[in-house]
Structure 1
């Protein structure tokens, strides 16, 4: 009862903010994202009848506290679905820096859900597995189905699951990642989302954003899709900054990248749009022809950069890829 899986993290395009149910991690509204590759998380799990307790290790470190509780929520759900009570050994590795705003929880829990359900002998579709991953992180649901995916809001697993959006806007897209390392606290921001006076304003317009984004992706309209993503990043920040804790995630280099991207568009007519999730690091969405020029402009802001493409769905790997 052992399996290994790999998943890619997500960049939110129309981001969710706040949870209606923090235990099942049911979001208040729909969300759409794109997976980034080759950045990934690889996870191996094994259910063992001869072990007494679960063990969780991520990037070589034993996971305790709230992190262990979140993994346990997914593990317990899989055990319930499979009707087993074996202890689990869980090991995971990220190919990219975590907790800096690049979606490590999304790839982490997507890979966990894929590996756990396979090791438990469950035969589930990816949308069904997305409901398992969602118990660790709502964004992980979209990392299970991969590429451009839509997580529907709902009050149960039948409604609140992810589906992939078919679009030709994949092969030519490049995502320049500008690393701005700064601590972020995502869970508390979600917990207090509804306390912001901007939250109802966001709720009022986000459904139109979802419809516009789906239409832009179906039409493979790069500029419309990623301009929407840029504006959604500003909307999300307005909501987090006006909550009780007044979260301000952006750093000076974050703003420098924003300005560099706007200069690229206005002065050089380069198709480039910035986007942030909950954190200071920045995604800059562009096309293959302009990736080098955009990366150079982002690097000039004094940050480390990587260039990513669009990643596919979470997948089960061969036994030779196992971490133990």
Structure 2
């Protein structure tokens, strides 16, 4: 192999039943199964070039060469695939994030899902999408779900081989999500650190695990019945329960900011005024996501713009599964980067 190239796009996903805590830190095995909605609005494009003439791995994010620490993360991820094929050529990895990085908007999910699919495409690996998700998981747990579109379950499994994602429903029944971006800066406490601290110190954590399992079964039933309001209520309750574990950790911490609280209150006010079903959820970051009917997004966005700048309220329909891009697609993404149109 002189040179092998793969290019892929993966969209972010927002967990409705949260993944919070690992039972195996090295294999990224979760403490509970989770369920998410893939979003159309946010995604990562990644190009991987394996080249026998390279003497080390190179990683560029949004056109900028990254530090040795960041390259090491990518190298470790590439090692997993190269162990699978029995050889280890070095690679040039170029990613363009159309997602704010490390702000609780699942940038790592789309990033590692895109990287996994690009690698599989470059190396012509004969893997099912479920099998590929077990590799993506080793880069970022939530990336397991970004290989699929619509509603996706990440089954916790019993081992590394069966802790994988699978599609649940295409979410093509008037499903939408608004994202209130109150802060797109990198968060101070990484998800990995926050999870570990919570698992070790929160007295609420065992109850979180038990009720998360119950929530998952109830949510899957609601999706099967296309019962949006039950789906929404479970989403909101599950998300706040997750954040209760961080507040009960020792010492306590939170991913919320003052603006997060203002956003939460704005959502409550608006949904009461409009009398529309709209349900909040938050991940490990300050931004508030609102699960709603796609047909209600316009009214909600207009009403919320009284409380927050309109440009900070992003609407999204359900997103597709990750897919391979052409070189022409890649060049268009690079052009958007040059023009400053990435997030």
Q: TM-score range by the shorter chain?
A: over 0.9
Give the structure 2 partner of residue 177 of structure 1.
179
Q: Which moved more, 1:241-250 or 1:74-83?
A: 241-250
Of 177, 180, 195 in structure 2, the residue corresponding to residue 190 of structure 1 is 195
**Residue 86, structure 1, aligned to residue 89, structure 2:** yes
Q: Per-residue CA shift, 1:113-151, capped at 9, x if unaligned? A: 000111112011111111111011110000012221111
State the 1:231 CA deviation: 0.8
Give the structure 2 partner of residue 125 of structure 1.
128
State the 1:267 CA deviation: 3.2
SS of the counterpart of 2:50? strand
Please list every run of 5 or more consecutive structure 2 residues that lacks an aligned counterpart in the other structure. Answer: 335-343
Distance across 1 between alignment mates of 2:65 and 2:248: 35
Maintained 8 Å contact 1:5/1:115: yes
Alignment size in residue pairs:
323
Give the structure 2 partner of residue 206 of structure 1.
212
State the 1:319 CA deviation: 2.6
Distance across 2 between alignment mates of 1:99 and 1:180: 13
Give the structure 2 partner of residue 138 of structure 1.
141
Please list every run of 5 or more consecutive structure 1 residues that lacks an aligned counterpart in the other structure. Answer: none
Maintained 8 Å contact 1:253/1:302: no
Q: TM-score, normalised by structure 1?
A: 0.95
State the 1:76 CA deviation: 0.6
Give the structure 1 partner of residue 307 of structure 2.
301
Maintained 8 Å contact 2:116/2:136: yes
Maintained 8 Å contact 2:270/2:304: no
State the 1:154 CA deviation: 2.7
Maintained 8 Å contact 1:16/1:30: yes
Q: Per-residue CA shift, 1:240-278, capped at 9, x if unaligned? A: 222234221112221222222222333321121111111
SS of the counterpart of 1:192? helix
Distance across 2 between alignment mates of 1:60 and 1:23: 30
**Residue 19, structure 1, aligned to residue 27, structure 2:** no
SS of the counterpart of 1:151? strand
Maintained 8 Å contact 1:79/1:120: no
Q: What stretches of structure 1 move > 6 A for 4+ residues in a row?
A: none
Distance across 1 between alignment mates of 2:66 and 2:27: 21
Give the structure 2 partner of residue 321 of structure 1.
329
Q: Per-residue CA shift, 1:268-312, capped at 9, x if unaligned? A: 211211111111001111123221221123333335111111001
Q: TM-score, normalised by structure 2?
A: 0.90
Maintained 8 Å contact 1:18/1:192: no
Alignment of 1:52-71 (within 5 A): 52-64=55-67, 66-71=69-74
Q: Which moved more, 1:181-190 or 1:133-142?
A: 181-190
| Gap change, CA 1:189 and 1:2, over 3 Å in 2 | same
RMSD: 1.7
Maintained 8 Å contact 2:101/2:186: no
